[in-house]
Structure 1
Amino acid sequence: MDHFLYRDGQLMAEDVPLAQIAAEVGTPVYVYSAATLLRHFRLFDEALAGMDHLVCFAMKSLSNQAVLKLLGDAGAGMDVVSAGEYMRARAAGVPGDRIVFSGVGKTREEMRIALTGGIRQFNVESEPEMEALSEVASALGVVAPITVRVNPDVDAKTHAKIATGKSENKFGIPISRAREVYAHAARLPGIKAIGIDVHIGSQLTELDPFEAAYRKVADLTEALRADGHEITRLDLGGGLGIPYARDNQAPPLPLDYGDVIRKTVGHLGCEIEIEPGRLIAGNAGILLTQVIYVKSGEDRDFLIVDAAMNDLIRPAMYEAHHDIVPVVEPAPGFEPHAYDIVGPVCETGDTFARGRSMPRLAQGDLVAFRSSGAYGAVMASEYNSRPLVPEVLVSGDQFAVIRPRPTYEEMISRDTVPEWV
């Protein structure tokens, strides 16, 4: 469910017409619904009711300060993968004891920043990282709490570029080596292993891979406890998918996901952490764009819009589908027309959809890319020297620009030319 619905023939963001945002802010522009963000966070929180738990929003999906503050004030923790994300979370008012630091390539400087500023735990991904963290923490006179990310060799049945739990993936240590790695951790002075971390991929649409991975984590928890380790926390990652196409079967609900957690690890008495990103943010955002031209080709018609692959790269990178809808509601029984929907960037890959059935559209019409709140703005770039797309947050009948579109002068002024050129 989201809060982007037609009312009186106009697509709305909660109680704000998207046409009004386009008129005042310009296009392309990302628009987020505060009500949808909060609703989806609370669905996960309620799914784990009765268990000691923390829902950590995966910031890599959407890291705008306004969104982080909205979720943080509602009680969310944050899952970060860089010092920049850590600093963003802290700037948004999220305390260090609600921030989990993940990622395969943490630097010593990133470790120092998090240890100095306060951190809930590091999800460690390798023995060299574990040793580096121990040295940094010891130099600061502290002990860093860690979980070790284990790779359970479970097929997440998702796109190859966002699968993370198979043995050939770069993430974590093989679960078969976990006991020796935890024994090594116990000998290092600057760290203390308090739990286990696992994350098998993103955009999962079935629960079986979660269950298979979590059963392996349950067995490992009991084995590590038998070895004398105090395992009190399980970080189970995120990855639950969303329905990008409205006519596809809906993925499992957070409530069903919570039941899998209870069934597989609920008996262990551990605090549970989960790290959803896409399901909280994905359907909470749209990319609003305008038709520049309608172009007739040899055997197809093109809708050329002012959004491009630098604004929303998922279709170019993952062949990802987004429902694309007109802002003016089509008349009942309209005759559909097939368009290739493309952007203005000088790449054939700057194609959002091929042969997409749409109502007939004209120059100046507004369309919205649904389900683009996650991995949209955060992956945007200035390719072709196009200014970064702005972001807007809506709450009820009010909206605010939460990241402005830079001017061409601001964009160019970031470059410096050496005196000798």
Structure 2
Amino acid sequence: MDHFLYRNGVLHAEDVNLTEIAAEVGTPAYVYSTATLERHFRLFDEALDGMPHLVCYAMKAASNQAILKTLAQLGAGMDVVSGGEYARAKAAGVPGERIVFAGVGKTREEIAQALAGGVRQFNVESEPELALISEVARGLGLTAPVTIRVNPDVDAKTHAKISTGKSENKFGVPISRARDVYAEAARLPGIEVVGIDVHIGSQLTELAPFEGAFTKVAELTEQLRADGHRIDRLDLGGGLGIPYQNTNEKPPLPFDYGALIRRTVGHLGCEIEIEPGRLIAGNAGILLARVIYVKEGEGRRFLILDAAMNDLIRPAMYDAWHDIVPVAEPEPGAERAVYDIVGPVCESGDTFAKSREMPELAAGDLVAFRSAGAYGAVMASEYNTRPLVPEVLVKGDHHAVIRERPTFDEMISRDTIPQWLRED
């Protein structure tokens, strides 16, 4: 469910008419719904009600400060994967004890940054990383809380570029070697083992892969406790998918996910951490765009938009589907046409949809890409010197620009001309 609905013939974000945002901010622009963000966070929180738990938002999905503050005020923790994301979480007012630092390539500087600023735990991905964390912690006179990320070799049955739990993926240590790695962690100074971490991928649309992974984690927990380790916390990652296509596709609900967690690991008495990102932010955002031209090609018709692959790269990178709807509600029985929907960037890959049936549209019409809140604005770029797409947050009948569109002068001023090229 989201809060983008037609009212009086126009698509609204909560109580705000999207044509008003387009007139004020211009297009393309991302628009987020506070009510949707809050509802989706609460669904996960309620799914684990009665168990000690922390819902850590995977902020790589959408990391604007306003989004982080919205979720932090509800009690969310943050899952960060870089020093920059850590700094964003702290700037949004999230205390270190609610920040989990994940990521396969943590640097010495990032480790020191998190230790100095406070961190709930590091999710350790390898033995060299474990040794480095120990070295940095010892040098600072601190103790680093860690979980070891285990790779359970479970096929998440998702897109190859977002699968993380198979043996061929770069993430975690093989679960078959986990006991040896935990033994090494126990020997290292400056390290405090607090639990186990697992994450098998993103956009999962069935529960069976989760069940396979969590069952293996439960068995490992018993083994590690028998080896003398204190395993108080299980970080089960995220990955629950959302329906991108307006069909009968129905990924599991957070309630069902929570029930699976209770069934597979609930008996262990551990605090549970989960790290949803896409399901919280995905349907909470749309990309608003305008038709520049309708072009007649050889045997096909092109809908050329002012949004491009640099604004929303998911279709080009993942062959991802987004429902694209007119902002003006079509009349019942309105004429329909088949379009290739493309952007203005000089790349054939700048294509959002092929042979997509839509209500007939004309130059100047507004459209909205649904389910664009996750991995949209955060992956945007300034390719072709196109200004970075702005972001707008809606709450009820209010809206605010939470990231401005830069001017060309602002973009160009970031370049520095070396002395030998200066005319003065």
TM-score > 0.5 by shorter chain: yes
Q: Report what 1:265 is aligned to.
A: 265
Amino acid at match of 1:86: Y
Residues 162-203 of structure 1 deviation map (CA, whole Å, 9 limit, x = unaligned)? 000000000000000000000000000011111000000000
Amino acid at match of 1:32: Y
Three-state SS of the structure 1 residue aligned to 2:37 is: helix
Query: Within 5 A, what are the aligned runs for 1:141-290?
Result: 141-290=141-290
Amino acid at match of 2:317: M
Q: Report what 2:314 is aligned to.
A: 314
Query: How far apart are the structure 1 equivalents of 2:99 and 2:144?
Result: 13
Shift of residue 214, structure 1, vs aligned partner: 0.1
Query: How far apart are the structure 1 equivalents of 2:64 and 2:99?
Result: 16
Are 1:25 and 2:22 counterparts?
Answer: no
Query: How far apart are the structure 2 equivalents of 1:42 and 1:297?
Result: 48
Three-state SS of the structure 2 residue aligned to 1:177 is: helix
Three-state SS of the structure 2 residue aligned to 1:401 is: strand
Amino acid at match of 1:300: R
Residues 279-328 of structure 1 deviation map (CA, whole Å, 9 limit, x = unaligned)? 00000000000000000000100000000000000000000000000000
Gaps of 5+ in 1: none
Instruction: Give the number of aligned pairs.
Output: 421
Q: Report what 1:102 is aligned to.
A: 102
Shift of residue 335, structure 1, vs aligned partner: 2.5
Amino acid at match of 2:41: F
Q: Report what 1:137 is aligned to.
A: 137
Three-state SS of the structure 1 residue aligned to 2:419 is: coil
Are 1:386 and 2:372 counterparts?
Answer: no
Amino acid at match of 2:83: A
Query: How far apart are the structure 2 equivalents of 1:359 and 1:133?
Result: 56
Q: Report what 2:125 is aligned to.
A: 125
Three-state SS of the structure 2 residue aligned to 1:368 is: strand
Q: Report what 2:375 is aligned to.
A: 375
Q: Report what 1:342 is aligned to.
A: 342
Query: How far apart are the structure 1 equivalents of 2:349 and 2:87?
Result: 34
Amino acid at match of 1:288: L
Q: Report what 1:73 is aligned to.
A: 73
Query: Within 5 A, what are the aligned runs for 1:400-419?
Result: 400-419=400-419
Query: How far apart are the structure 2 equivalents of 1:15 and 1:210?
Result: 37
Shift of residue 334, structure 1, vs aligned partner: 1.8
Three-state SS of the structure 2 residue aligned to 1:60 is: coil
Sequence identity (%): 78
Three-state SS of the structure 1 residue aligned to 2:60 is: helix
Query: How far apart are the structure 1 equivalents of 2:303 and 2:380?
Result: 21
Residues 261-283 of structure 1 deviation map (CA, whole Å, 9 limit, x = unaligned)? 00000000000000000000000
Three-state SS of the structure 2 residue aligned to 1:399 is: strand
Aligned residues: CA RMSD:
0.4
Query: How far apart are the structure 2 equivalents of 1:258 and 1:17?
Result: 36
Residues 351-404 of structure 1 deviation map (CA, whole Å, 9 limit, x = unaligned)? 000010001100000000000000000000000010100000000000000000
Shift of residue 130, structure 1, vs aligned partner: 0.2
Amino acid at match of 1:88: R
Shift of residue 141, structure 1, vs aligned partner: 0.5
